[in-house]
Amino acid sequence: MKHDHIIKRPIKRIVVDIIDDFLFSIKVRSFKILCSLLISRFSILLELMFGKKLAMVLISFGNKLACNLKINLNDVIYILRDIDSARLIKGEQCIWEYLKSIPTGSIFLDVGAHIGKYTLPLAKIVGNSGLVVAVEPDPINYKFLKRGIEENNLKNVIALNIGAWNKNGFRRFFVASLSGKGSFIRQKEQFIWGEIKVKVRKLDEVLEELNIKRVDYIKIDVEGAEYEVLEGLKKILLNCSPVVVVEVLSENYGKVLSYMKGLGYESTEIKMSVDMSYFIFSKKSCTYDGKF
């Protein structure tokens, strides 16, 4: 067939993922989440074989199916926005293995919090003696994040509907068909649905205004804007030496690694795909040992 050479590798990956989706749906006892995840998988094939238009029709249907779905995963309640929400709460298990060992009483900064994949469980882990600051620029994601915070009765989370950047002001935010793919940096592979204007802040200044004098752990997932976010956190990185977990797109590897090295950090890479890795940064004086 015409597309055999294009879809051969994705089909092998999708078969493995479908089995994983089925097992996950059993764990959370939800047939709807299985349907949503399968739609996400098959939309990839549709895009490869017939183009983006048909894929976007399927994604729209899947989003309606998943929207407002309430999932209980490991005693944490998530309220899904779309099929991407379903995909995200079950993915990145290797990153969760690192983050779930954060000590009680820690202060955790979640930049690009989405609907709360890390914010919600880590708020429970750090407890009332700790704090989670969750930053999410997309106003719809933010509403679902707030609902998740309320549903879990969390009192130790500060949620902020702003974008993190290296200066204060307003910027265009590209809204994507997948809720986890919105960004201040337009990506080639995104299904862009529109643009909105979003307030952006240097997080150094935001934390100072909140009278937060230390941060122990930071997670950054901002779809290409990671360098600008880190620039806006320079004071915290220098003064508090937090462990930093960052999703870095391949085109940003050089400048992110150089910037963090200049601040005295060493890095451990977790390769996620050909285009993206997670990096775990820690100061040389407190070298990261593979666990928190």
Q: What single letter denotes the amino acid at residue 190?
A: Q
Q: What is the pLDDT of residue 107?
A: 98
- Is 90 exceeded by the pLDDT of residue 34? no
**Domain limits for position 273:** 102-166+202-286
Can you give the pLDDT at residue 191?
62
Q: Tokens for 262?
A: 């200049």
161 and 245 inside one domain? yes
> Over 80: is that where the pLDDT of 290 sits?
no
Distances in whole angstroms, Cα of residue 199 to Cα of each of 53, 195, 219, 263? 31, 13, 20, 27
At residue 12, does pLDDT exceed 80? no
Q: The CATH number of the domain where 161 resides is what?
A: 3.40.50.150
Instruction: Kindly state whether residues 17 and 156 are assigned to the same domain.
Output: no
Same-domain check for residues 138 and 279: yes
How many domains in the chain? 2
pLDDT digits (tens, 9 = 90+) for 205-224: 999 999 999 999 999 999 99
Cβ contacts of 142 within 8 Å, gap of 6 or more: 136, 159, 161
> Which candidate, 132, 212, 198, 118, places its Cα nearest to that of 165?
198
Is residue 153 in a domain?
A: yes
Domain-located, residue 30: yes
**161/21 same-domain check:** no
Measured distance CA(120)–CA(92) in Å, rounded: 15
